[in-house]
Amino acid sequence: MEDHLDLHKEFPAPCLNDEALKYSGKKASAKLQQGLVEKLLSQQPAMIEVDGRQYPRGTEGVAVAALGKAALAGNKLIDAGTEAFIPDHVDVEYIAKLEPQSLRRPKFIERSEFMQTEEGSKTIFGADGRRVFYSTAYPWRCNGRVESSLGSGSGVLVGPRHLLTASHMIDWRPGNSTGWLKFTPMYYNGSAPYGTAWGVRTYFKVKVTPPTIDSNEIKFDYVVVVLDRPAGNATGWLGTKSYSDSWDGGAYWTHVGYPGDLTGTQRPIWQGGIALDGDFWSPDSHESMSHKGDVWPGQSGGAFWGYWNGQPHAVAVQSAHNPSNNFASGGSDLVDLVIRARAELP
């Protein structure tokens, strides 16, 4: 048992998903700054040469110590979380528009056949609640596809050039360096409406290395990657908040990711009304949360967010699953990483 197990705080809960769906969206009140997207599209990544081949440069890793009692006691910055940013030039929609009929494709993988050798193993519970969407409205445009030398996953912008994703998506290298990482906001079947950004620095608590995730790693399976360009100025970004176990069981949370089964990781899905259940034996500063949201590999790193006064704040990212549960990872340490990354590399 950890020495700061008593650090369970109660904070105002987000609104229930059914209430969020009743919010009225709004149209953009200004035009997009001229040249902003064009600049994001035209900037090339930094490259290195290895054995005569050109590769995108990796990132610098920055280790940040886990929060303890002293760091958390009365920490108003952590308690407040970070703010969301909704640009004037974007539409706001609380229900993502489904992809048009003309763009729909068959399932990439038939799960029942793929998992027939794993009797009793589930990552989809009951009817599949995921819906494939295409939307350039906020907050959906803040989400995107993450690629590294390990494969593809999901992530969300939480600052002007600050990406929240899973630690196990990072290709950890010796000496606190990493392999390359690429992020494409609102990626859809090869389309990159806001360009592609590349990682330059990765803030982490624990280096989580697949294919397995142990009981400690699952509490810290998140990183903040600072990107080489401010894509968030075009898309906006989500805020973040520390998860509280007082929210356990509430159908508050929305999730977005790029699943391998439905779309071959090429098109995003969303699901709302997900309930999280924080690990009782872990402090709210860092913990895993079990859930019955529907996931498949490719959704790792995708955020779980709720709405406070119409503003979306992420509290966790998709991390792992076992035969009976799916798991997200979050806590005050996640917020701490965002604050640190945004302060040092705005």
> Which residues, in sequence order, are CB contacts of 215 under 8 Å at separation 6+?
none
Residue 62 CA: distances (Å) to CA of 57, 173, 264, 332: 16, 12, 32, 18
Kindly name the residue from 148, 154, 162, 168 that is annotated as catalytic. 168
Active site annotation includes 300: yes
| Helices of type H across the chain | 17-20, 36-42, 69-72, 76-80, 111-114, 232-235, 260-263, 332-344
Specify whether the CB–CB gap between 41 and 272 falls below 8 A.
no
User: Rounded distance, CA 280 to CA 285, Å?
Assistant: 12
Kindly name the residue from 148, 242, 285, 300 that is annotated as catalytic. 300
Token pair 């402090």 is at which residue?
283
User: Rounded distance, CA 223 to CA 246, Å?
Assistant: 24
User: Rounded distance, CA 166 to CA 153, Å?
Assistant: 8
Of 182, 208, 185, the C-alpha closest to 136 is: 185
Tokens read off for 227: 């990107």
Instruction: Tell how strand 197-204 and strand 223-227 pair up.
Output: antiparallel
* Residues identified as active-site: 168, 300
